[in-house]
Structure 1
């Protein structure tokens, strides 16, 4: 049966971040994920995890100036040292919080940088990150993101991410497969998951259109969750969606889908 982790960046947003751990546990989650931990001391996050018996399954590497619209810097040739410092910071947090894998947002290709230079920078940065994470006993993830939501993002499709990882050549590097982004970009959800399951390290879900909870849009999550279970995925599924009418009010999808 699929195991679901509450994405605290998206869920329970009506309360301060550190209070979302208690809400997740009260809602029946045993695991959480979020974009970034870096605004809070690791000791504070660790205390909330322990107090509410939660496992932290994922967070991202630092991704530049998020509030200014940046969505990763791994493809930015003039910010390699910043990227490498971010890898070190992420590993410190992951070690303190017991996080087994970290996601790298590749970023939007900077203005004035040609595609070949951005790609070469991304490959080199991912090789560095994978090596550092492997030394720390952790996995690296790379996530394709649709260009409707983030125009200019440089990794958009599953096949592109797989080719990128082939070029990186690291045995601890995997795809983070976000069902919502994949539906908007390429479809073929069930076939893609089955064909590339061995190279998928983490799954995230939201429905389309609207990026709301499963069952509110066009994706047949009743079928898809059963399919994910049937093909043997044993990792966590991150609930990275925008609740249509409040998190708790929208959790009925778990009961409706007999999960």
Structure 2
């Protein structure tokens, strides 16, 4: 996000962001990086006292397939193998939260059977992650109506059924605004299982202040609920170059100025 100021090297961008007041990163593609680079990033975070946000469990690269909904044994083993690999990735980068997307609908099966397949596979994944204190965070998405997991109540129900501290909800506010709206009440209803938030204004999926969402009120509400975790900036930038990067930082300072 800050390559215009800090250059293409990720660790240099982290250090520059530290000077601006940021204290965490997330990196969806962490599992696809070489182990040596994962360790270098983790060492940089430890030196700066930073937190590591989410990285994506890379068992099913986009575009997603029916994957976990189908109950197919090969897909289940692919998922569990990725969970085992994620334990090593998390150790190297000092991570804890791992984004999981169950995949697209399997139209050969009814919704009840698909939901059961997802829950059973997630339980087995938790058996791998829980002893290491790691948490898969389920992300409901809005990219396509074919996605199985799309709504707050559905994600909450799956977390309840899996019934593990290693299965929680990644509440991406951009996606939830597109799918459901009513953000603050939906945050309250699902808060028991929300372990992580991601940001993006709608329309456009850029920084706060570029769309219709009142992020100052949303941030205030989350703060007052006592949330102390990472807020992931999973969005694009409205501007370009160094000016765009500075405008993005200014937008966050304005949205965060609610006290």
Q: Hey, what's the Cα distance between the residues in 2 that align with 1:119 and 1:12?
A: 40
Unaligned runs of 5+ in 2: none
Distance 1:116 1:151 in 2: 18
Match of 2:132 in 1: 136
Query: So what's the TM-score if we normalise by structure 2?
Result: 0.84
Q: 1:112: how far off?
A: 4.4
Instruction: Tell me the number of residue pairs that the alignment of Structure 1 and Structure 2 aligns.
Output: 245
Change in CA separation of 1:153 and 1:12 when aligned onto 2, cut-off 3 Å: farther
Q: Tell me whether 1:55 sits opposite 2:51 in the alignment.
A: yes
1:26: how far off?
Answer: 4.6
Partners of 1:17 and 1:119 lie apart in 2 by 41
Q: Specify every segment of 5 or more residues in structure 1 that has no aligned partner in the other structure, as ranges.
A: 1-10
Distance of aligned partners of 1:138 and 1:214 in 2 relative to their CA distance in 1, 3 Å threshold: same
Question: Greater relative contact order: 1 or 2 (C-alpha under 8 angstroms, separation 6 or more)?
Answer: 1
The alignment status of 1:189 with 2:145, answered yes or no, reads no
1:31 to 24, 32, 36: 24
Number of the residue aligned with 1:256: 254
The counterpart of 1:120, out of the listed 116, 120, 123, is 116
User: Residues 72 and 41 of structure 1: is their aligned pair in 2 closer, same or farther, counting only changes over 3 Å?
Assistant: farther
State whether structure 2 residue 16 is matched by structure 1 residue 18.
no
Matches within 5 A, 1:100-115: 100-110=96-106, 112=108, 114-115=110-111
Alpha-carbon contact 2:208-2:251 (below 8 Å) kept: yes
- Cα separation, 2, equivalents of 1:23 and 1:73: 39
Are residues 192 and 85 of structure 1, via their aligned partners in 2, closer, same or farther at CA, if it must alter by over 3 Å? same
Deviations 1:196-249 (A, max 9, x none): 323210011110001110111111111111111112112111111111114343
Q: 1:112 to 1:21 in 2, by over 3 A?
A: farther
- Give CA-to-partner distance per residue, 1:115-145, whole Å, 9 cap, x none: 4443222111110111211111112211111
Q: SS of the counterpart of 1:254?
A: helix
Aligned-partner SS, 2:79: helix
Superposed displacement of residue 42, structure 1: 3.0
